[in-house]
Amino acid sequence: MMRWFSRAVLAGVLAALGIWCWHTWFPSPEKAIRKRLKELAQLASFASNEAPVARLFNCEKLTTLFTSDVKIELDATGWQQTLSGHDQLFQAAMVVRQRFGGFSVDFIDIDITLGPERQSAITDLTAKGKMAGEKDLLVEELRFSLKKVKGMWLINRVETVKTLR
């Protein structure tokens, strides 16, 4: 009886470990996209004392989250910017890091809609940012289009969502 019980416990532990490994190494598309967006927010945020080498590294790593043909169209109040491709994205990220003393961004209210083939997704979210030294928050509604490339979710389009102001 004791032998049977110990085998059942061992089988249960192995099954739980297998399920945990499966979810860790093969996350659901929604979980993978949320992780990608969290990584984007971390790389887009920077402190005023960021070292030049770290600035270069973080801007380069930021571009790896996007497809090579990325298109970004931002239309905030009184400010418009359109970027196409990794090169323009990298240059814009470097300019922002050089001109501003620090910035933090967080994505909230994330709503993910997967395409029918589960190889693309549309994500609507609210970007909440704060510049160093400023007391006001910057808040924008954004829409991200992502697609799965070689097993990784990459951002291929970002645009501002027009809301009532």
Q: What is the pLDDT of residue 26?
A: 66
Q: Dump pLDDT digits (tens) for 53-109.
A: 999 999 999 999 999 999 999 887 667 889 999 999 999 999 989 888 889 999 999
Tokens coding 97: 């890091």
> Residue 90: helix, strand or coil by DSSP?
helix
Domain architecture of the chain: domains with CATH: 28-160 (3.10.450.50)
Q: Give the whole-number percent of the chain exceeding pLDDT 70.
A: 88
Beta-carbon contacts of residue 160 (< 8 Å; ≥ 6 apart)? 73, 74, 75, 76, 140, 141, 142, 143
- Report yes or no on whether pTM surpasses 0.85: no
Of 47, 40, 76, nearest to 61 by C-alpha is: 40
Mean pLDDT of 149-158: 94
